[in-house]
Structure 1
Amino acid sequence: MQRYFVAKEQMNDHMVLIHGEDVKHITRVMRMTEGDQIICSNNFDRVCLCEIDRFEDDQVVALIVEDLPSKSELPVNITIAQALPKGDKLDYVIQKGTELGAAQFIPVQGERSIVKWDGKKEGKRIERLSKIAKEAAEQSHRSRIPAIESLHTLEKLIERKNEFDHLLFAYEEEGKTGNHKQLADVFAKAESGESLLFVIGPEGGFSEAEAVKLGEAGFTPTSLGPRILRAETAPMYILSAVSYYFELER
């Protein structure tokens, strides 16, 4: 069943008002009619089964049939701070990371990032990435759309460390020690509802200076196993491991 996200003020006890591009999707793409059922989420704490009541000039009015339980969010909140990779790889990270349950994405300008964002175009880039996240959240039946933050420097990211319960960064040099248990050790300490910030480097990984800065700030250097993963693969590994540990193993 098709799922749509609305702002909290567009949903009351009995009715949902759908605006914007979703109106075109309902009427022109899905060709829905009165009586068709959809699922609506207020992107916060409520998911409802709704029935389309009527079509107005710029909105669709749907009546709430019943509230639905939502079990599609990870038990812990994962923020992926991704150093800018080449090409359209960030699109892939946002899309697949949303499907796998990430709560938030923070683009980071890494020392070895080849891509440099033009400040004048950053707003459009964030808007585009937010649209990718919305579509992926609808497809995967998420209850919430992950937030896409503005571009951060590593220093700005470190300044925000107190917002999170656990801090980690993927560091391939750590894997050379043969110790691949850091991720499991952090998971064992994390409780449901807590937040984890995981920082991932670009192609080429973090420089030694960046690794030192993160380590001194309290971030745990973490191996992702004995194989070297691509920049866009690492977030998928992490989110899959989180899902297995917190949703399937327990």
Structure 2
Amino acid sequence: MPIDRFFYDSPFTTHQKVQLEGIEFHHLAHVTRAKPGVVLELVNGKGQLASASLEKVEKRNATLYIEKILEKPKPPFSVILAQAIPRIQRLDFIIEKGTELGLTELWLFPGQHSERKNLNEHQLDRLRTITIAAMKQCGRLHLPTITIKPPLSKWEPIHFSSFFGDLSPDAPPLLQSWQQNPPKDGIIFFIGPESGFSDKEEEILGNLGANGVKLHHNILRTDTASLAALTLINHLNY
């Protein structure tokens, strides 16, 4: 786990001075209690990791001086989770663990059986905060994006390898479908809400080009299914 890593939402340049404010400043000043002269790490979620020395800590902000920068390109393989909006506590879990498991994009859409049909700005800000914390904890340098999408009935055909969790007994395992036609540039995996996809939604998914696959012989909760899909994708694309 990275030690004393902080988030700053802007591109870095060497010999640049930056000011930490808000949550990141609170963590630096009141949790880690860092003192001037200590060297810390800054990440911006855009593939940059900066080594920075702490120059001063004031009442509401801290000034750091960037000494060197490490850059990492975006992963060549996109892992997109298209998740029907679940209960908020399960969504918190999905984005936190999904970030650790290499999720690159989270698409949220209202499912026909979703108890919650939308998210307000406060809830989206909370998800972003959770994502940033998970990114810092797991050591990755690219922050997953979170996008709100319309209901499936309003989607255009997908020109990307895509799958959805299918509970029908004749659905093939993800491994089998992957081996028959390995995704090249990335994958979209659709997960239904707590009550699953409706028959109409499964029909729409098929028309969009998504293939129904089985993740496990048991019926999985929506948050378990999301993490199972991401884990299998990571293994198959390793």
Whether these two folds match at TM > 0.5 is yes
Query: What range describes the TM-score normalised by the shorter chain of this pair?
Result: 0.7 to 0.9
**Counterpart in the other structure of 1:161:** 158
**Separation in structure 2 between the aligned mates of residue 74 and residue 236 of structure 1, nearest angstrom:** 19
2:237 alignment partner, SS class: helix
Aligned to 2:237: 246
Task: Write the distance in 2 (CA, Å) between the matches of 1:8 and 1:185.
Answer: 40
Match of 1:109 in 2: 110
Poorly superposed stretches of 4+, deviation over 4 Å:
none
Moved more, 81-90 or 103-112: 81-90
**Corresponding position of 2:96:** 95
SS of the residue corresponding to residue 228 of structure 1 reads: coil
Rounded Cα–Cα distance in structure 2 between residues aligned with 1:140 and 1:28: 22
Q: Could you tell me which amino acid in structure 2 is paired with residue 89 of structure 1?
A: R
Per-residue Cα deviation, 1:50-102 (whole angstroms, up to 9, x for no partner): 2212235543222233333659x765221111112235111111111111111
TM-score w.r.t. the length of structure 1 is: 0.83
Distance 1:16 1:196 in 2: 39
Instruction: Say if 1:38 and 1:49, in contact at 8 Å, map to a contact too.
Output: yes
In 2: Cα distance, 1:221 partner to 1:178 partner: 6
CA distance in 2, matches of 1:87, 1:40: 29
Q: Percent identity?
A: 26
Deviation (angstroms), 1:8: 2.5
Aligned length: 234
Quote the residue 1:220 is aligned against.
211
Residues 1:74 and 1:116: Cα distance change in structure 2 (over 3 Å): same
Please list every run of 5 or more consecutive structure 1 residues that lacks an aligned counterpart in the other structure.
none
| Cα contact 1:95–1:132 (8 A) shared by 2 | yes
Q: Does the aligned pair in 1 maintain the 2:83–2:108 contact within 8 Å?
A: yes
Task: Give the root-mean-square deviation of aligned CA atoms.
Answer: 2.4
Using the TM superposition, give the Cα deviation of residue 161 of structure 1 relative to its aligned residue in structure 2, in angstroms. 3.0
CA distance in 1, matches of 2:153, 2:98: 24
Q: Which amino acid aligns with 1:232?
A: D
Contact 2:14 2:69 in 1 (8 A): no
Distance of 1:44 and 1:198 partners within structure 2 = 24
Question: Which residue in 2 is equivalent to 1:170?
Answer: 165
Query: In the alignment, residue 80 of structure 1 is paired with which amino acid?
Result: L
Match of 2:138 in 1: 140
Please give the TM-score of this superposition, normalised by the length of structure 2.
0.86
Partner of 2:16: 15
Give the unaligned 5+ runs of structure 2: none
The 3 A distance-change label for structure 1 pair 104 and 16 is farther
